[in-house]
Structure 1
Amino acid sequence: MTLLAAACGQKKTDSSAFIGDQVKYEIIGIDPGAGIMKTTAQALKDYDLSDWKLVEGSGTAMTAAFDKAYKAQMPIIITGWTPHWMFSKYDLKYLEDPKGVYGGDEQIHTIARKGLKTDQPSAYTVLDRFEWTPGDMEKVMLAISDGKKPEEAAVDWIKDNGGKVDEWVKDVPKAEGVKLKLAYVAWDSEIASTNLVKAVLESRLGFKVDLLQVEAGPMWAGIAGGDADAIVAAWLPTTHKDYYDKYKDKFEDLGPNLSGTKIGLAVPKYMEIGSIEDLKKK
């Protein structure tokens, strides 16, 4: 029986059974190119969890699996990160990571291609000024998860946060019709932030922004090669460390646009488990 089938067919967690048996020794992950997947694979090695399998998929598939399990009060373990709308909608907790495999809090950085400051100074200035909070991001993500189109959720946030947006575009010359390319990975967090920046650049400065949805590797390669102008989706220092090091000196790091992010293994709070070490059968 699959995890989803179990979630649909049972009503509550069998807390007497070992957690591995309850979830079929599966951790529900996202796309294989994501840094959190590589870190989780390393965690399985460092914690000697050779019986466990990291299930590849997508952010959408992961959230769908979690929603079904949560509604049935069934156990499930996922690769989690914050900000994410799931932490606003569900009662979730991170498993403790005593070995520190997932690192501490991260930041999301804005990365620009070389030469953008000279070629498109208005866009560069706004990208450099762009900064918001996890709470801001989660509002946009939650609106999208509730059915709004990403561009609509972005426009609504701008309407509600005009003062903050005014600071980003203050005294910045308009660039009517100038084309820009922003790359991003299809994480809910990056869909929110990239659509927001697109909406600001278009509605306030007149740019015409194309969004390029790619995997993490091509996203960084696109910036390094000049095929994309910028990203607002660089999770550092852990998640995208390999790409950052690989393409170092081939891009410009404009610094964090959001602080206080976190990655790790997450479970519903109703599960009686507190640490990654609890996944190892005694």
Structure 2
Amino acid sequence: MLFNFNFMRFMLFGILFSSLVAGGCGTDRTEADDFSGGGPGLNYSEEMDFTITGVDLGAGHTAVINDATEAYDSLEGWQQDNASAAAMLAELDDAVENEEPIAVAAWSPHFKFSQYDLKYLEDPESIFGEGESMRTIVRTGLEEDLPGAYAILDSIQFEMETIEEAVLQGSDPASDHAQIAREWVAANQDAVEEWTSGAAPAEGVPVALVTTYRDDALFTANVAAAALSQHGFDVTLTVLDTLSLFEAISAGDADASLSPWLPITDETYYNEYSNQIDDLGPHTEGAKIGIAVPEYMSVDSLEDLAPKN
């Protein structure tokens, strides 16, 4: 009997000890998870299927997000869902309507920050940089061939508030970006006259501008087109993807663009073609890119998310 009693006591102690060890290990793992993408960060990451909703494959922003997934341990195993800006906005609208988690490619100025309550996720590694400038680039030789157009393009400057107002105004899919630009030019003749001052009037001389699909780029390109047209130039404006835009200007098939964002967004294309274009510098300062989520998500940094594996 004594042997059986002692044996039972030993077995009971062993079971209790094992339970305490397992319970202790579970507690340690939970606490560690709180500081390494566990809790809400892990739940959100799983619900989003470890996917960032991006824009088109050719956008510079897409490449930067790929860099972020390489740089952050919290984004290991993540992927991008790339289609278009319109598709991204449709996904965002659906997620917000249902209060579901979503992480999207984000840039500002853009109307989505007025339409939805969004926040940029903090970027401790500065993969997305501290800020972007929108720049004017022209084909090599434009200053010699069309000095008047070159001088006007070199003079065009915007305030960020102007861009933000125009982007919000153009947020309706039915908006006419060219009309918005013409109205701005008509209401801001002092600025246009300052840009065109000293440039000899043109008489139907052709100028080919190219732009990307972004709302800010469509506005600045159409304003430049309206200002050049008012000065007598025969302006054409073509919308291209970013790579095709740089190729067209470097090859001399287009004269100028106000679309590029530097130093991060379009860095890859800019570096590839910098010897074949002329950079006239920033026309607008204060832009920003990154990854954004709705405010109702209780994560604040890219490091709050969780790796797939």
Normalised TM-score (structure 1): 0.89
Give the counterpart letter for 1:125 in structure 2: A
- The DSSP-based 3-state class of the residue aligned with 1:73 is coil
Query: Aligned pair in 2 of structure 1 residues 67, 166: CA closer, same or farther (>3 Å)?
Result: farther
Quick check: 2:41–2:305 contact (8 Å CA) kept in 1?
A: no
Partner of 1:279: 305
Partner of 2:204: 177
- The DSSP-based 3-state class of the residue aligned with 1:277 is helix
Matched, 1:123 2:133: no
Query: Aligned pair in 2 of structure 1 residues 91, 165: CA closer, same or farther (>3 Å)?
Result: farther
Quick check: 2:77–2:307 contact (8 Å CA) kept in 1?
A: no
Equivalent pairs counted in the alignment come to: 268
What 5-or-longer segments of structure 2 have no aligned partner? 1-39
**Structure 1 residue 135: Cα displacement:** 1.6
Quick check: 1:111–1:252 contact (8 Å CA) kept in 2?
A: yes
Quick check: 2:50–2:307 contact (8 Å CA) kept in 1?
A: no
- The DSSP-based 3-state class of the residue aligned with 2:130 is coil
Partner of 1:26: 51
Partner of 2:244: 218
5 Å-filtered alignment, 1:5-44, equals 18-44=43-69
**Structure 1 residue 23: Cα displacement:** 2.0
Matched, 1:193 2:217: no
Normalised TM-score (structure 2): 0.81
Partner of 2:24: none
Higher helix share: 2
Please give the alpha-carbon distance, in whole angstroms, between the structure 1 residues aligned to 2:299 and 2:258.
34
Q: Where in structure 1 do 4 or more consecutive aligned residues deviate above 3 Å? A: none
Superposed CA offset, 1:252-272 (max 9, x none)? 110101111111101122221
Please give the alpha-carbon distance, in whole angstroms, between the structure 2 residues aligned to 1:65 and 1:156.
32
Quick check: 2:41–2:304 contact (8 Å CA) kept in 1?
A: no
Quick check: 1:18–1:281 contact (8 Å CA) kept in 2?
A: no
Please give the alpha-carbon distance, in whole angstroms, between the structure 1 residues aligned to 2:201 and 2:96.
47
5 Å-filtered alignment, 1:110-259, equals 110-146=136-172, 147-202=174-229, 204-259=230-285
Quick check: 2:249–2:255 contact (8 Å CA) kept in 1?
A: yes
Give the counterpart letter for 1:137 in structure 2: I
- The DSSP-based 3-state class of the residue aligned with 1:248 is helix
Quick check: 2:61–2:289 contact (8 Å CA) kept in 1?
A: yes
- The DSSP-based 3-state class of the residue aligned with 2:275 is coil
Give the counterpart letter for 1:159 in structure 2: A
Superposed CA offset, 1:98-147 (max 9, x none)? 11111111111100111111211121111101110222112222222123
RMSD: 1.9
What 5-or-longer segments of structure 1 have no aligned partner? 1-14
**Structure 1 residue 17: Cα displacement:** 6.9
Please give the alpha-carbon distance, in whole angstroms, between the structure 1 residues aligned to 2:223 and 2:114.
19
